[in-house]
Structure 1
Amino acid sequence: MRSDLVDLTVRLHHETNRAVLVSTDGDREKAVWIPKSACEIEPDAGQATHTLSLPERVAVEKGLV
């Protein structure tokens, strides 16, 4: 069985109870909101970045890949 999840390195700009505002290049102007129900986000140890895991379809729709 093939998993459709992708892991992306992102910059977390803002977080609410229901969503995260992230970008792949650190530019807040290009950041997109991702519902927490559609992803998992974990900080990268010792880095200013986070690893975002989400379905590939959502990543494409949001322009992250």
Structure 2
Amino acid sequence: MKSDLVDIAACRHAETESAIKISETGDASKAVWIPKSQCQIENDGHANFVTVTMPEWLAIEKGLV
């Protein structure tokens, strides 16, 4: 059975109560906003480096895959 979730290793540029702004490259000009209601955010102790788990359709829509 294929999962429709993807994990994205990303740099966190900004965060609000309802969304997180991330990029895969660390380039803020290429960062995109992801609604927190559509993802899970994990931080392994590095302030600005996170793993974001989200539906594959959302990652495609935002240009992350």
TM-score (norm 2): 0.91
Paired position in structure 2 for 1:63? 63
User: Share of identical aligned residues, percent?
Assistant: 52
**Superposition RMSD on alpha carbons, in Å?**
1.4
Paired position in structure 2 for 1:5? 5
Paired position in structure 1 for 2:41? 41
Paired with 2:52 and 2:2, the residues of 1 have a C-alpha distance of: 19
Q: Structure 1, residues 7-59: CA drift from partner, whole Å, max 9, x if none?
A: 01000011100000000000000000000011011113457411000001000
Paired with 1:8 and 1:48, the residues of 2 have a C-alpha distance of: 13
Q: Structure 1: give runs of 5+ residues left out of the alignment.
A: none
* Matched-pair contact (CA < 8 Å) for 2:6–2:54: yes
TM-score (norm 1): 0.91
